[in-house]
Structure 1
Amino acid sequence: MIKRFPLGSAWMIIAAFLFAMMSILVKNASTHLHMNEYELAFWRSLLPALVIFGTTLARKKTLKTPFFWGHMQRSMAGTMALLLAFYGLGHLPLATSVTLNYTSVVFIALLSIFWLKDKPSLKTWVALLMGLAGICLMLKPAFASDRLLETLITLSGGIFTAFALLQVRELSLMGEPAWRIVFYFSAVATIVSGIAATWFGWSHLTSESLPYIIGIGVAGLLAQLAMTHAYHVGQKFTVAALSYLTVVFSAIYGVIFAGERIGWLEILGITAVILAGIVSSVPERKVAKR
């Protein structure tokens, strides 16, 4: 039995910082080097696919699975979510785009109600309404600017993320290990983004772009490992709450180093989405049977 202790949850702080670093690198590569989201997603996915494939061979494990189509559904949804997230990083302020990627908690609640036919608890309703309010607050400034389309496109990534996470839950319940789920996602994302990048055009590898490419891949891989370890040894609720530090780290960088301005409506919207995610992570209180 795995011993869980609060200190282990601190691994999520490291993961959140690394996820923020990856987002910052993607943002800078997109805006300064004009690299498109497809090639950036390719480099983000290639390293985890190669590392997991190599370690699988070294450990004499197998990538064969009886749930191949389940993996394909999860991987395609995850790939779409990744591409839309990277699109947002290239077209929206850092804090806004990262927060919109975390709206999956809202869409998970909606999918659970209307697709899985789950009966929502009070906690689910609170998180759902709080998250929807946060989205509305973040959309209002977009209506007053020329970024409404970009905001809606990025927001749609939350739907694909929600579907992908529900598929991960199903695969996990069927006994699939996390490393195999991550491998199939990384492999599919590498292939799809590679084809799209070939269609839309690759950027030339230069001494300026290479650090970004390596940094995005390494930061993404290490963040995934740190997050997995945090859930393995830490308190689930604490880890889930700490994951939203990615938004905080990204906002701090955007304001201090990138000169981005965040209005009060965006701040309130970001706060509402973060609180919705934390509320949704609170474990349900079991009613004792008499």
Structure 2
Amino acid sequence: MVVAAFFFGLMGVFVKLGSASLSSSALVFWRTLIGVLLLGIPALLKGQRFATPCLRRHIQRGLLAYTSLLLYFYAIAHLPLATAVTLNYTSPMFLALLSVVFLREKLSPRALFALALGFVGVVLLLRPTLASDAWLVGLMGLCSGLLAGWSYLHVRELARLGEPEWRIVFYFALIATLGGAVLVSFEGWQPMDGYTMLMVAGLGITATIAQLAMTRAYKVGNKLVAANLSYLTVVFSTLLGVLLWDESLPGASLSAIILIVISGMLASRR
């Protein structure tokens, strides 16, 4: 999971660099297209079954996750890397809330405390953006966390119905790629020079390595430990933002990031 967190942080770097040449929708398209090929071709060669009795749920999950990824990439392009990543990592908070709304789950006092802590962190983190022209981007980053948490509800339900892990990820990548192709067609396809192709390749490679490492961590390790270690992505993103763009976050923003990370860890233990 430490490896996964590091490469997810690097993925954010390639998104930020690539956003100078490509739109967020184009970056999402190329990132998910690589996922379709890396998952689909081996599955085809192994004779895996692509047909599923849960197509409607896959479509719902895919649309939620695609929109979340689109908003996330847009936030990375226009906010400090650490801020954008942290806003996306509010997903465990929203997952806990949505579990109450849709699944009628009851929250423990610890989970309620985690949500309160996370809410304070979000307010502190968004305060600088709400006081500037970047308020809309900040809210978009927060919405990426909400939609990611919502999509995890569908992942949980698909797993409960017996859907294999590769098919859950494949259908998300496929739906996101098709949605991205439609959106980019409306925008107009942008030509790519050597530098842009390198950024796209870096995005696809780092995302794939991160996904594989994360899958391995959850498969063979303690799931709670893996979930907590995933927040190292926030740490790595903060360090990379400082090293590459000299992004200096004020003390209030750093405190907010710490509160949100603690909140996510507590929420995952509910």
Distance of 1:202 and 1:101 partners within structure 2: 27
- Aligned residue for 2:18? 29
Q: Secondary structure at the match of 1:146?
A: coil
**Where do 1:3-22 residues align within 5 Å?**
12-22=1-11
- Aligned residue for 1:166? 153
**Where do 1:95-110 residues align within 5 Å?**
95-110=82-97
- Aligned residue for 1:121? 108
Runs of 4+ in 1 over 6 A off after TM superposition: none
Q: Secondary structure at the match of 2:118?
A: helix
Distance of 1:157 and 1:245 partners within structure 2: 19
- Aligned residue for 2:140? 153
Offset at 1:127?
Answer: 1.5
| Structure number with larger C-alpha Rg | 1
Distance of 1:238 and 1:117 partners within structure 2: 26
Offset at 1:203?
Answer: 2.3
**Where do 1:179-218 residues align within 5 Å?**
179-218=166-205
Offset at 1:145?
Answer: 2.0
Pairing partner for 1:43 from 30, 33, 49 = 30
Q: What TM-score does the superposition give when structure 2 sets the normalisation length?
A: 0.97
Distance of 1:236 and 1:109 partners within structure 2: 17
Offset at 1:163?
Answer: 0.9
Equivalent position amino acid for 2:190 in 1: S
Unaligned stretches of 5+ residues in structure 2? none
Unaligned stretches of 5+ residues in structure 1? 1-11, 285-290
Q: Is the 8 A contact 1:38 1:83 kept in 2?
A: yes
Q: Is the 8 A contact 2:87 2:141 kept in 1?
A: yes
Equivalent position amino acid for 2:145 in 1: G
Offset at 1:114?
Answer: 2.3
Offset at 1:166?
Answer: 0.5
Distance of 1:216 and 1:270 partners within structure 2: 24
Q: Secondary structure at the match of 1:62?
A: coil
RMSD: 1.1
- Aligned residue for 1:231? 218
- Aligned residue for 2:46? 59
Pairing partner for 1:247 from 204, 227, 234 = 234
Q: Is the 8 A contact 1:141 1:265 kept in 2?
A: no
Q: Is the 8 A contact 1:29 1:35 kept in 2?
A: yes
Higher helix content, 1 or 2: 2
Distance of 1:174 and 1:100 partners within structure 2: 30
1:134 matched to 2:121? The reply is yes
Offset at 1:107?
Answer: 1.0
Equivalent position amino acid for 2:7 in 1: L
Q: Secondary structure at the match of 1:208?
A: helix
Offset at 1:143?
Answer: 2.4
Distance of 1:13 and 1:203 partners within structure 2: 35
- Aligned residue for 1:257? 244
Q: What TM-score does the superposition give when structure 1 sets the normalisation length?
A: 0.91
Q: Is the 8 A contact 1:46 1:190 kept in 2?
A: yes
Equivalent position amino acid for 2:84 in 1: S
Distance of 1:46 and 1:161 partners within structure 2: 19
% identity of equivalent residues: 40
Distance of 1:52 and 1:199 partners within structure 2: 27
Equivalent position amino acid for 1:42 in 2: F
Q: Deviations over 1:237-279 (max 9, x none)?
A: 1111110111110100111221112011111111111101111
Equivalent position amino acid for 1:252 in 2: L
The alignment of Structure 1 onto Structure 2 pairs a total of residues equal to 270
Q: Deviations over 1:134-158 (max 9, x none)?
A: 1011111122222111101111111
Q: Is the 8 A contact 2:7 2:206 kept in 1?
A: yes
Q: Secondary structure at the match of 2:194?
A: coil
Distance of 1:240 and 1:25 partners within structure 2: 24
1:271 matched to 2:262? The reply is no
